Homo-oligomer: A and B are copies of this chain.
Amino acid sequence: MNESTPPPRSAQGAYGIAGEYVTSEAIYKKESDAIFSRRWLCAGRLEELDPSSSCLPITLEKQNLFLVRDESGMIRAFRNFCRHRGSQLVTESNCSSMGKRIQCPYHAWTYSRSGALTSAPNMAENDDFDENSHGLFEVSCEVFGGFIWVNFNPEETVAEWLQPVAKHFQNWQISDLRLGHELVYHVEANWKLIFQNYSECYHCPIVHPMLNRLTPYQGSSNELDEGPILGGPMGLADSSQTMSCDGKYAGPPIGNLTADQLRSVYYFTICPTMFLSLHPDYVLIHRIQRIDTGNSKVVCQFLFPTQSSDQQKLTPDQAIEFWDLTNRQDWNVCELAQKGMSDPAYQPGPYSNLESVVAAFDRNYLSELDSKRD
């Protein structure tokens, strides 16, 4: 399937989700149990875990964890509290001075980078104290495509989970790209509205005039149209090399992309935390984090090939400016939708055929939510 002959698409008479899905605390809690505690969540880029400090406190779904490279160099994730009195262990201010051991700042209980309790002052007096049963609580953590993924209750490996887009990770050599720039946003909208917004270009003519010139909205097609990973390519206009204000490359095209791949941008949503946007010359990532029913945080990262001195210099400014503008246009309409859907009188409307992926996102979401409905 390629973008030159898009297949007919249909929203199958589907309607949007009810307003309670973006306002109800109970549904928010149900999402925690049914989705966010069972799915692989993107926790950042491998290169964010600076090898010199090699300890990084993170918050995922309001749960405090820290990432660390263990003695063998493997990335591991632990609950960020001491097994003694519960003090947080790794903080923004102490993480860079944390050495080969993780020492609690309260009573100096000390753990290895594999989570074992190695020292607990004065506890030897306690006859029944067993160091081995007081190691840190570990959370599943894997590295794939250069990203760190965390899962509180995994049912499969990340590789299995990402299989539908594995070939793209390979083609774009995503493991080898490096973080070049980051934009961070607070969006006053439920996380699902941000996913829905990314899943259609029906809004592009009115919301994104510049984007619509680079990739006309009719030129999109769907490679993956059912399930937790959805999306496909949009054809670049003849005058555009990539998505940027001037339409020109930010750097040399990536690796061994095919002619087709060089003339398209591929957009995928990886529910529930990531958007993957593959450009000929760079990869754009959106990491979406829930804050509450009506607020989200979005971290937008630009990944570029590592540069050798004889390569063409990177000129990413036009791409960054383009996506910053496009992002803000999107957050604005997401926030307007949050406001309207929060009205008690709101009733869902019908999807157009251009919103078939939004309908697919809704189906997958509702199905995952129902799988844990109590």
Query: Which residue numbers of A lie inside 8 Å of B, CB to CB?
Result: 11, 13, 16, 19, 63-64, 79-89, 91, 105-108, 120-123, 125-126, 128-129, 134, 137, 196, 202-203, 205-207, 332-333, 336-337, 339-341, 343-350, 352-354
Contacts and interface: CB of A to CB of B under 8 A. Distances in A.
Given A16-B85, A105-B206, A107-B203, A63 B353 contact: no
A340 B108 CA distance: 15
B128 A349 contact: no
A357 to B, nearest CB: 14
A107 B353 CA distance: 13
A340 B63 contact: no
A197 to B, nearest CB: 9
B352 A122 contact: yes
Contact of A333 (B87, B128, B339, B350): B87
Contacts of A350: 84, 123, 126, 129, 134
Specify which of A87, A206, A207 lies most central, judged by the most chain B CB atoms within 10 Å of its CB: A87
A337 B87 contact: yes
Given A64-B339, A87-B340, 8 more contacts: A81-B339, A82-B349, A85-B337, A86-B341, A105-B207, A106-B206, A122-B353, A126-B353
Nearest to A200: B107
Contacts of A344: 63
14 contacts: A13-B126, A63-B343, A64-B340, A82-B349, A85-B196, A86-B337, A86-B340, A86-B341, A106-B336, A107-B203, A108-B205, A126-B352, A126-B353, A134-B350
